[in-house]
Amino acid sequence: MDSPASFAPAFDRRAWPMNGRLDYWTAPDGWRLRRYRLGEGQRGQLLMLGGRGDMIEKYLEVIDHWAGRGWAVTALDWRGQGGSGRLTGDPLCGHIDDFGQWIGDLKAFVCEWRGQAPGPCAIVAHSMGGHLLLRALAEGMLPPDAAVAIAPMMDVRTSPLPRWLAAAITRSMCALGLQSRQAWTQKEESERQRIMRQKRLTHDPERYADELWWRDHSRDVALGPPSWRWVAQALQSTRALEQGGRLAQISVPLLILATEIDRLVSTPAIRRIAAQIPGARLHVYGQEAAHEILRELDPVRLDALRRIDDFLDEVAPA
């Protein structure tokens, strides 16, 4: 006989969970960042940070998972993307003048967030969010009790161009005054183009379709390619973090999940970074996982959640 759990309704990834709160947090300079909160927090507080071009909606499924485990979950849209406004006149261009702006936002938010409730605090960050988290920790951000970086952007995949040539082209485009223009096009007009982009992100066509659904139904959160300035900053910030010698100062218990076939961020760089952080734990998936590990097919996604939950239960017990 089937257990009662087998009749539990599937999570609706195209609807906000009940009992959540969507509002804005105001940064020290007055910029409003969209924020979502869900869960009572008997277990503690957990902050979810997305990657470049992400929006809170993409992570409602995992937010609901952690809220169900007793965490008071908070998610933020980075300045200039999702529901946190734009930094150029092109609403589809992902732009930032300086990654330091995001670091400043994160430090200020975490300082306030940490004091909101008793119990352990954990931060889970994906891709660009993982890079910004580690950089903020290396630069003295008030640390959480535990941190998890999912496919962190420790370097940008520039192939087929060598990194030095990609950096030179980027500098030239910025010098020509094109720093706030889209660095490339994101073509999804045909089924073939959509499938190609999907496979870079996830093997799950249904979860990929959820992202497109949210973009179509909430055009103000849609975002396309990054600007040339974003590319320049990504190349500069990742190189500086790895060479600055500050990674060895990170003492937060850290779990890193990555995949060998990542086509957006550099897995060799992730391995190098993990080796420089004392006590960091690294698990690398194989062909079964693309870049968005938390939005993969269930065998990978559920394994990743189990690893994260076990890690948090060990290093940040309630």
SS3 labels along 38-86: ECCCCCEEEEEECCCCCCHHHHHHHHHHHHHCCEEEEEECCCCCCCCCC
pLDDT (0 to 100) of residue 186: 76
230, 244, 266: which is closest to 93 by C-alpha? Answer: 230
DSSP annotation of 265 reads: B
The first and second tokens of residue 103, run together, are 């670091």
Backbone torsions φ then ψ of 71, nearest 5 degrees: -85, 145
Q: Which pLDDT score is estimated for 8? A: 56
Q: Which residues are CB-neighbours of 118 under 8 A, at least 6 positions away?
A: none
Element containing residue 166 per DSSP (H, E) = helix 163-175
- HSE (CB half, 13 Å, CA atoms) of 190? 3
Q: What angle do CA 272, 275, 279 make, to 5 degrees?
A: 150
Q: Measured over all CA atoms, what is the biggest interatomic distance in the chain, rounded to whole angstroms?
A: 68
Show the low-confidence residues of the chain (pLDDT under 70).
Answer: 1-8, 188
Other residues' Cβ atoms within 10 Å of the Cβ of residue 275: 11
Number of H helices, E strands in the chain: 9, 8
Q: List alpha helices for 176-297, DSSP H.
A: 191-201, 205-217, 228-243, 267-276
Contact present, 269 and 238 (Cβ < 8 Å): yes
State the number of CA atoms in the 13 A half-sphere of 91 facing the CB. 10
Helix (H, G, I), strand (E, B) or coil at 117: coil
Report how far apart, in Å, the C-alpha atoms of 209 and of each of 145, 194, 206, 259 are: 35, 10, 5, 22
Q: 10 Å Cβ neighbour count for 245?
A: 10
198 CB burial (10 A radius; 0-12, 13-18, 19+) = buried
Q: What are the structural domains of the chain? A: 22-315 (3.40.50.1820)
Q: Could you identify the residue written with the tokens 């094109």? A: 178
- CA-based R_g, the chain, Å: 19
User: Contact at 8 Å (CB) between 216 and 55?
Assistant: no
From residue 230, give the alpha-carbon distance in Å to each of 118, 136, 234, 307.
37, 18, 6, 32
